[in-house]
Structure 1
Amino acid sequence: MKRKKKEIIMSQEIVLGKSIAFKHNKSPGPDTLELRRFNDPRNGSRNIDALPAFCRLLKSLNGLESSYNWELSARSSTQYKAVSLGLHQLKSSNKEFVSCLKGQINSHSKMHRPIQHVERVFYTILALIGIPVNLLAIVILSRGKCGVSPCTTRYLVVMAAADLMVIITDVLLRRFRYYYYPQCFLDITPVCSVDWVLYCAARDCSVWFTVTFSFDRFVTICCQKLKTKYCTEKTATVVLATTCILLCLKNIPFYFQYQPVRLINNVPFFCDRKSEFYTEIWWAVLNWVDSILTPLLPFALILLFNVLTVRHILVTSRVRKRLKGETKGENRRDPEMESRRKSVILLFAISGSFILLWFIYVVDIVYFVIQEMNPDGYPPFLFHFRRVGFMLQRLSCCTNTFIYTATMPRFRLKFSNAIKYLDTRIARVMKK
């Protein structure tokens, strides 16, 4: 047998002030090529598309089998998103460098370990509460007679369904598979790719259904001529269906951003972003469009609709008081304003909850765009600030039901009756 020539691939890196070299006994693979590009001066000082390969090396040297803790610690960044390729793929002749890498990994893990524990508890509680609560909201609202119009009911039902899908696709199928059932069929590349697309579509629908609901309430309160044509159950169905279809089509390309990390019995496992995702222009354009559509533009539109609604209410209230000739000492009831109060309270509660819970996430995106700073380089405060933003964003998926309970008396009565019924049934089953 002819002896194969071992190709020595040198890739100098500066880690903790040390220049190191890697030796690979096989022909150059995609990770090796990415490591070359990582240190190529023609690509600039921070070649982002090579970082996944470099970080797979870090995790391989540390013997990590799952990368989810790294993904949680730096989500939407390129440094800790890949899954370990295995120590057998890379061999290092520099023991000092290996020890430095392990020390760096351990220090990073210790620094972010508290927030990871908090996230695990938070997302578990969110799933245990959010899924049954949204299911109850869908059932109660679908049966009607909750004190709101059929048009408003249609928006509330679809919003609850979108929130439920966000919790299922993100928490139950993505996060729980690393927390509680690792190494399952959900790690197959096509499955996790589809799950990511479904999560993005559900997230976008949840946000934009809130926008359409805010616009519907704006038309109801401020545009009396348009109200009779637009604020109908048929129009609501068309608007919601069109919005859902467009958002689903927008997220289909994200299925093709992933590639398998390894083959097990000829089955592709795990999802890793392709290097083209960080270099191709059309991927960059798609990411910008995605960031603008969710959540920057919805955030601005909801603020705009609420400001215009408040302005219209204040102006109308003053005009009606003048027409009725009220004085400062009089306090007459206005049936028209009383009838609008429920709609206004429900609108401001839902919109205000959305704005507050998405505020940190939006600030993080704006900061990233302005500073052009890789999230990997965030100091601990900004890193934890970012993680809290993600948790609050997910929390918005189970707050609407509690808002309905607080602002709608009939819904509150039905919700309490449903809870009592379920409690009684569970107690009977436990006794048996």
Structure 2
Amino acid sequence: MWESYLNVEKVLYLIIAVTGVPVNFVAIVILSRGKCGLSTCTSRYLVAMVTADLMVIITEVILSRIKFHYFPMCFLHITPVCSVLLVLTRAATDCSVWFTVSFTVDRFVAICCLKLKAKYCTGRTAALVLATTGVLLFTKNVPFYFFYEPLELIDNVAWFCQVKLSIYTDPGWNGFHWFDKCLNPFLPFIIILLFNGLTIRFVFVASRVRKGLIGLSKAENRSDPRMEGRRRSMVLLFTISGSFLSLWMTNVLQFAYYRVAGIGGNENESQRVFNFVGYLLRTLSCCTNTFIYATTQSKFREELKSALKYIVCAVVRFIQKSFA
């Protein structure tokens, strides 16, 4: 079963890399242009999320998974390089998650806290929140540099990476591992569910009050611009949050099961497959946001169509010149 899974994983990660890199790059370009009808604050959060997703695909998928399957012997297997790559991968993954949390909080303030909205929901605040979050998360992941030890020594060079056995027994590492998992994804799960629940409650109550104030009845079909704006914000927010929660759920359950069962590094074949499926789904979440934007944002779709049209025309002109 393990060999079959490795063959499937080999193809799936290649598909994620081939699809995820250009899709996320196009999304970054489109959102950075600021022509999608979104506020500066929202655009910065979305650009940061897509950028973090792109970094996850580069570090986790291309430089780790694809390297493992397609390049079994290259300089990336040198132990110090493996360790640096692990730090970058963990930092990119944490940023991808916590930028989603920051976006959730921002949308909560924008929808539910009208007095605070003018001060908090600004491009400057978004840049400050994102920069501070990124620096703190990178610093938090520096200890992962010491997570691996060499598998063998070739010409006095440490090659390959294996997890230190002390990781599973050392109280300091166990404490750090619990802190790491609480910070990502347990705490983000709680925060996203909490703020989404508060947002739903606020919008439900506010819509009832607003309908009563402006005299809307079920029989009438008049539109309310404010409620329509809230609806669009909620659709974007809940789609992104729901995608994150569903694709990370397996990884969360895997960690909880391992800790409760006290498995440590002693995995059987089925548990190893379950573990890798969790990582695969978690990585897949880095490819979904662009499709979510295209589905929920009409102006983003228009910009995407224009970008694709420009690329196709450029390719056609290049081919025509080549064969002229």
TM-score of Structure 1 vs Structure 2, range by shorter chain: over 0.9
Report the Cα distance in structure 2 between the residues aligned to 1:388 and 1:166, rounded to whole angstroms.
Answer: 16
SS of the residue 1:307 aligns to: helix
Secondary structure (helix, strand or coil) at the match of 1:147 reads coil
Aligned-pair CA distance for 1:369: 2.8
Question: CA offset at residue 429 of structure 1?
Answer: 4.4
Distance 1:376 1:279, change over 3 A: closer
Shift of 1:322: 1.4
Output the CA distance in 1 between the equivalents of 2:141 and 2:98. Answer: 14
Structure 1 residue 423 corresponds to structure 2 residue 312: yes
Q: Distance in 1 between matches of 2:227 and 2:141?
A: 42
Q: Could you tell me which residue of structure 2 aligns to residue 339 of structure 1?
A: 229
Opposite residue 169 of structure 2, the aligned amino acid is T
The 3 A distance-change label for structure 1 pair 368 and 273 is: closer
Deviations 1:151-185 (CA, angstroms, capped at 9, x unpaired): 00000111111000000001110111122222111
Question: What is the DSSP-based 3-state SS (H/G/I as helix, E as strand, rest coil) of the residue aligned with 1:270?
Answer: strand
| 1:403 aligns to 2:320 (yes or no) | no
Question: Given the two structures, how large is their TM-score scaled by the length of structure 2?
Answer: 0.94
Q: Indicate the residue corresponding to 1:276 in structure 2.
A: 166
1:275 and 1:293 mapped to 2: Cα distance? 23
Residues 57 and 286 in structure 2, CA contact (< 8 A), matched pair in contact too: yes
**CA apart distance, 1:255:** 0.2
Amino acid at match of 2:290: T
Match of 2:210 among 317, 320, 325: 320
Q: Name the aligned partner's letter for residue 111 of structure 2.
A: I
User: 1:337, 1:359 → 2: CA distance?
Assistant: 32
Cα distance in 2, alignment partners of residues 368 and 307 from structure 1: 29
1:259 match: secondary structure? strand
Cα distance in 1, alignment partners of residues 44 and 310 from structure 2:
25
Give the Cα separation in 1 of the matches to 2:100 and 2:21. 19
- Please say if 1:390 is aligned against 2:279: yes
Q: Does structure 1 retain, via aligned residues, the 8 Å contact 2:31–2:43?
A: yes
Match of 2:2 among 101, 112, 120: 112
Once residues 266 and 22 of structure 2 are traced to their aligned partners in structure 1, the CA distance between those partners, rounded to angstroms, is 36
Is the Cα contact below 8 Å between 2:40 and 2:123 reproduced in 1?
yes
Name stretches of at least 5 consecutive residues in structure 1 with no aligned partner: 1-110
SS in 1 for 2:35: coil
- SS across alignment from 2:286: coil
CA contact under 8 A between 2:10 and 2:69: conserved in structure 1? yes
Offset, 1:379: 6.7
Paired residue for 1:36? none
Once the two structures are TM-superposed, the CA of residue 420 in structure 1 deviates from its matched residue by 2.4
Contact kept in structure 1, 2:2 and 2:269, CA below 8 Å: no
Offset from partner CA, 1:49-84 (integer Å, 9 cap, x none) = xxxxxxxxxxxxxxxxxxxxxxxxxxxxxxxxxxxx
Corresponding residue number in structure 1 for 2:303: 414
Residues of 1 paired with 2:69 and 2:197: CA distance?
Answer: 42
| Counterpart selection for 2:87 from 176, 197, 211 | 197
Q: Which has the higher contact order (CA 8 A, sep 6+)?
A: 2
Identity percentage of aligned residues: 54
- Work out whether residues 168 and 265 of structure 2, in 8 Å CA contact, stay in contact via their aligned partners in 1: no
Separation in 1, partners of 2:194, 2:210: 24
Partners of 2:49 and 2:281 in 1: how far apart? Answer: 17
Matches within 5 A, 1:81-100: none
* Post-superposition offset of 1:428: 4.6
3-state secondary structure, aligned to 2:141: helix
How many angstroms does 1:136 deviate by? 0.7
Give, in whole Å, the separation in 2 of the partners of 1:145 and 1:353.
25
After TM superposition, list the pairs within 5 Å mapping 1:23-422 onto structure 2: 111-374=1-264, 376-378=266-268, 380=270, 383-422=272-311
Note the aligned Cα RMSD (angstroms).
Answer: 1.7
User: What CA deviation, in whole Å up to 9, does each residue of 1:163-216 have, x standing for no partner?
Assistant: 000000011101111222221111111111100000000000000000000000
AA partner of residue 175 (structure 1) = R
Please state how far the C-alpha of 1:121 moved relative to its aligned partner. Answer: 0.9
Question: Judging changes above 3 Å, is the alpha-carbon distance between structure 1 residues 406 and 129 closer, same or farther for their aligned structure 2 residues?
Answer: same
Shift of 1:245: 0.6
Structure 2 distance, partners of 1:420, 1:264, is 52
Higher helix share: 2
TM-score after normalising by structure 1: 0.71
Unmatched 5+ stretches in structure 2 = none
Q: Partners of 1:267 and 1:370 in 2: how far apart?
A: 38
Which residue number corresponds to residue 61 of structure 1?
none
Q: What is the rounded CA distance, in whole Å, between the counterparts of 1:334 and 1:243 in structure 2? A: 36
How far 1:288 sits from its partner (Å)?
Answer: 0.6
Partner amino acid, structure 1, of 2:312: D
Q: Distance in 2 between matches of 1:181 and 1:378?
A: 26
Relative distance call for 1:378 and 1:178 in structure 2 (3 A) is: closer
Partner amino acid for 2:277?
V
Q: Which amino acid counterpart does residue 73 of structure 2 have in structure 1?
A: Q
Q: Which amino acid aligns with 1:197?
A: V
Indicate how the Cα distance of structure 1 residues 185 and 384 shifts in structure 2: closer, same or farther if over 3 A, else same: closer
